[in-house]
């Protein structure tokens, strides 16, 4: 997906489109959280897995065929969108080339380069990338932000169930995730607005990611001060909303510093955030076990990591090309 966006869209469109694509995963979280909560509350936890099983078993179509059909439909939609973008870009290139001489036009690859569409070289200069501090700064920000997100995503149901057993599961499973859907969709457009206002790509990425990480940290620091359900829900909703701004920051950073190798770099880069999906959650469980379920330690430690990520990325991050 990252490679397709990098190769078929202009530099101005890459971050915005890819940010929106990444934000789409949160829509599935909202859908799963709402339907899942209703099923668990009404029929028990087994009903959720039975529902998923039945939903995939469409008559005369097995699971793999069904998922294959969905994949093809998604491919056709994406191909249509990218084709229209390429068509508009070709028209724009033709108009601009009408004003320059034939010797200055160059070949098709140079025209594509001028438009901001990437032509991928043969190999990825990993040594150059891994030797650049900006890459590791982005990786640290990705890791600390991902740790905060996965900690909230995986532990909030347990936190609310233990701290406020009278609360409705559908409320705390859905409301915070609605907030991140909204801000994740808006973040790419906010970043574009900052760029249009004259700010550099580096300043824009640092600003978006800094607000995201510091905002999450401040919210997590406030959690120990809450003693009722509504303030706690609002704080975590704000934390998730701040996390959504990440989709205008580090989330799309590989398009900036590796425009010709976005797919390969994004795979390595995204692993820094995915690792927290099991390491961070595992560590949080150990902290709860060692502190007799004291949630304050979990959220404060997570918040401190976000502050560290913001400082490191603010100092060494970049929005310019590395490789």
CATH number at residue 295: 1.20.1250.20
Domain residue limits at 147: 124-316
Whole-number CA gyration radius for the chain: 22
Q: Are 185 and 26 in contact (CB under 8 A)?
A: no
In sequence order, which residues have a C-beta less than 8 Å from that of residue 267 and are 6 or more positions away?
Answer: 2
Measured between alpha carbons, how far is 319 from 208 in angstroms, rounded to an integer?
Answer: 12
Question: Residue 265 — φ and ψ, nearest 5°?
Answer: -70, -40
* Residue 13 within a domain: no
pLDDT at res. 102: 44
* Residue 182 within a domain: yes
Number of domains forming the structure of the chain: 1
* Residue 166 within a domain: yes
pLDDT at res. 101: 42
pLDDT at res. 112: 45
* Residue 179 within a domain: yes
**pLDDT of the chain along its 323 residues, tens only?**
555 655 655 555 665 666 666 666 666 666 666 676 676 677 776 776 766 666 656 544 454 555 555 556 655 665 665 565 555 555 554 554 445 444 444 444 444 444 444 454 557 899 999 999 999 999 999 999 999 999 998 899 899 999 999 888 888 888 998 899 889 888 888 998 999 999 999 999 999 999 999 999 999 999 999 989 999 999 999 999 999 999 889 988 888 888 888 878 888 877 877 788 788 888 999 999 999 999 999 999 999 999 999 999 999 999 999 98
CA distances from 293 to 286, 288, 296, 297, 299 (A): 10, 4, 9, 9, 12
pLDDT at res. 223: 95
Straight-line distance from the first to the last Cα atom of the chain, in angstroms, rounded to the nearest whole number: 19
Greatest Cα-to-Cα distance within the chain, rounded to the nearest angstrom: 75
Question: Residue 143 — φ and ψ, nearest 5°?
Answer: -65, -50
Helix (H, G, I), strand (E, B) or coil at 138: helix
State the DSSP string of 39-87: HHHHH-HHHHHHHHHHHH--TT--HHHHHHHHHHHHHHHHHHHHHHHHH
* Residue 33 within a domain: no
* Residue 141 within a domain: yes
* Residue 14 within a domain: no
* Residue 37 within a domain: no
């Amino acid at each position: 997906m990252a490679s397709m966006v990098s190769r078929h869209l202009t530099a101005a469109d890459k971050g915005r489109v890819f940010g929106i694509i990444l934000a789409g995963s949160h829509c599935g979280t909202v859908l799963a959280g709402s339907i899942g909560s209703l099923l668990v509350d009404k029929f028990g936890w087994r009903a959720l897995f039975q529902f998923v099983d039945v939903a995939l078993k469409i008559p005369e179509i097995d699971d793999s065929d069904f998922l294959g059909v969905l994949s093809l439909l998604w491919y056709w939609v994406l191909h249509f969108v990218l084709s229209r973008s390429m068509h508009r870009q070709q028209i724009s290139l033709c108009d601009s080339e009408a004003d320059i001489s034939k010797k200055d036009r160059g070949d098709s690859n140079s025209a594509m380069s001028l438009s901001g569409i990437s032509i991928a070289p043969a190999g990825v200069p990993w040594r150059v990338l891994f030797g650049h501090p900006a890459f590791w700064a982005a990786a640290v920000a990705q890791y600390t932000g991902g740790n905060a997100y996965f900690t909230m995503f995986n532990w909030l149901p347990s936190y609310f169930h233990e701290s406020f057993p009278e609360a409705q599961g559908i409320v705390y499973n859905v409301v915070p995730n609605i907030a991140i859907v909204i801000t994740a969709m808006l973040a790419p457009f906010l970043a574009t607005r900052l760029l249009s206002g004259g700010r550099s790509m580096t300043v824009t990425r640092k600003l978006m990611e800094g607000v995201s990480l510091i905002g999450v940290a401040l919210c997590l620091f406030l959690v120990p001060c809450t003693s009722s359900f509504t303030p706690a829900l609002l704080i975590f909703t704000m934390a998730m909303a701040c996390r959504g701004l990440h989709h205008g920051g580090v989330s799309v950073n590989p398009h900036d510093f590796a425009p010709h190798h976005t797919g390969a770099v994004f795979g390595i880069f995204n692993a820094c955030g995915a690792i927290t999906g099991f390491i961070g959650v595992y560590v949080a469980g150990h902290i709860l076990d060692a502190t007799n379920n004291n949630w304050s330690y979990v959220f404060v430690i997570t918040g401190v990591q976000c502050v560290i990520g913001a400082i490191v990325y603010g100092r060494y991050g970049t929005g310019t090309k590395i490789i």
